[in-house]
Amino acid sequence: MDLRELYQDIILDHGRHPRNFGALSDASHFAHGHNPLCGDKVTIFVKLDGDRIVEARFEGHGCAISTASASLMTEVVKNKTLAEADALFQNFHTKVTGGEQIALPAALEDDGDRLEPLAGVKSYPARVKCATLAWHTFEAAMHAGSIAAAVKTE
């Protein structure tokens, strides 16, 4: 099996069997995201303890890429500080948009590598929004304070 097939299998697995799927009743932050071009919708729920993410979950529906991205994102941001999660977001965003790579601190490199299967969307500009919707929604939740936020990508 080549690397591309492995990445496709990871995306399909997370798309079919998303991790951390479901509402978080005691979330301290949440936001709704919608990509009207393809119909992807996601709600991100986060529970903070100080500046550390102790829980991250999501609900919604969308394509395999959108669902896999939300699933992988919730896995890698758990137990991270807000600054670490922001570094992962910046690194991921540049990977999928083809921007200049932003190096991650050594402690986050494994988490950055876990997101690598989604990097291939940079070859399909219409799919970049699918891969980044959950991340933009997460960012909206974190920057909106403890109130709900909404994000729309077009």
CATH number of the CATH domain containing 74 = 3.90.1010.10
Identify the CA nearest to 114 among candidates 43, 36, 13, 1: 13
Q: Which residue has the tokens 């979330």?
A: 27
Beta carbons of 141 and 29 less than 8 angstroms apart: yes
Q: Which domain holds residue 46?
A: 3-152
CA–CA gap between residue 75 and residue 20 (Å, rounded): 7
Kindly indicate the confidence band of residue 145, based on its pLDDT and cuts at 50, 70 and 90: low
Phi, psi values for residue 34, rounded to 5°: -145, 130
Q: Is the per-residue pLDDT at 153 higher than 70?
A: no
Q: CB under 8 Å to 43, separation ≥6 — which residues?
A: 23, 30, 31, 32, 33, 58, 59, 60, 137
User: What pLDDT is recorded for position 100?
Assistant: 84
Total residues found in the chain within this entry: 154
Which of the two residues, 102 and 95, has the higher pLDDT score? 95
Which of the two residues, 3 and 38, has the higher pLDDT score? 38
Q: Is the per-residue pLDDT at 147 higher than 60?
A: no
Count of domains observed in the chain? 1
User: What pLDDT is recorded for position 152?
Assistant: 58
User: What pLDDT is recorded for position 7?
Assistant: 83
**Helices within the chain (DSSP H only):** 3-16, 64-77, 82-97, 109-114, 125-143
- Percentage with pLDDT > 70 across the chain: 92
